[in-house]
Amino acid sequence: MNGFFNILKPPGMTSSQVVGFMRRLTGENRVGHAGTLDPEAAGVLPIMAGRAARLFDYLVDKEKSYVAECAFGCRTDTQDAQGTVIATGTDYPSLDRVRAAAGQLTGDILQRPGMYSAIKKDGKPMYLRARQGETVEVPERLVHVERLEILAEMPDHGFMMQVDCGRGTYIRSICEDLGHLCGCPAHMRFLLRTRSGFFTIRDAITLEEASAAARENRLDSYAVPVDAPLQHLRAVHVPESFARLAANGAALPVQMFAGQNVKDAEILRVYLGNAFLGLAGRDGEWIRWKVLFPQND
């Protein structure tokens, strides 16, 4: 089974556990996820099955959207509600004050994720170092926040917010930064990812729905075609006379794509008729394959 599954990950389950669940359902060993979600977070988790896993590096996963709740009154060592409280305060901010602070956290900003993050140092995730009692300062890094809108004030000094951001942005760190800017410690109380690149929560399916479909032998009806998340790449078409060469993974001459204006180093979606053959890129006067999908697979 080759394709993507847009899974609505439930809270209390790791992204790796979802991968294992889908591996059992599909019977496919080659299963992975495109973008980790924290165990207590819920939302869109794209799952890649079969040869779709080879397309990970070509997905547009830089644009992500979240709905989150920032809670004021305490800061935790994990920056979320599951951690140990390390600071408290009672100077609770107003809605206007939080919205003013949010305006300082948009665009390209420097962010310092907490120790309990998946960022690696010397090949070891920071959260493993934290659990083993190590204390290592995580360096600041540049991230992009396209939109940070405070939607509503919630009970117990919470504020619901919408975040549209780039890859590598930690919503937990945004909540903690809001606390610093407002003069009252804060942490992330709730997180829901509503979009990960091509995949949106509107089209996501639950694990229960996937299980029911597998029992009825219709799981493939939920599979997203391998080329669907690649629409940001330009499509070119192989002439029928070169079909055998293309199917065998041979390099193809650029002049064969005359009139299709193929640029140097451009990554392309390649088709033979309506059949998706894979991804290729121009290398001088040749088109060389990056990922090839055998047509009898």
pLDDT score recorded for residue 32: 94
Q: What is the pLDDT of residues 238-281, one digit of tens each?
A: 988 888 888 889 999 988 887 778 888 889 999 998 999 999 99
What per-residue confidence (pLDDT) applies to 267?
A: 92
The structure tokens listed for 79 are 């920056």
Q: What is the pLDDT of residue 153?
A: 97
3-state secondary structure of 207: helix
Q: Which of 38, 80, 177, 227 is catalytic?
A: 38
How is residue 131 annotated by DSSP?
H
Against a cut of 0.85, is the pTM above it? yes
pLDDT at 126: 60
- pLDDT score recorded for residue 204: 98
Residue ranges of the chain with per-residue pLDDT less than 70: 61, 115-136, 295-297
Structure tokens at 244: 């055998």
3-state secondary structure of 183: coil
Torsion of CA 182, 72, 174, 141, to 10 degrees: 80
Q: What pLDDT digit, counting tens, does each position of 136-164 carry?
A: 677 788 999 999 999 999 999 999 999 99
Q: Is 38 a catalytic residue?
A: yes
Task: Using CB atoms within 10 Å of the CB of residue 205, give its burial: 0 to 12 exposed, 13 to 18 middle, 19+ buried.
Answer: middle
Q: Cα–Cα distances in Å, from 91 out to 103, 173, 186?
A: 20, 20, 11
- 31-to-15, 53, 68, 171 alpha-carbon distances in Å: 12, 7, 28, 27
Q: Nearest Cα to 67, choosing from 166, 179, 201? A: 201
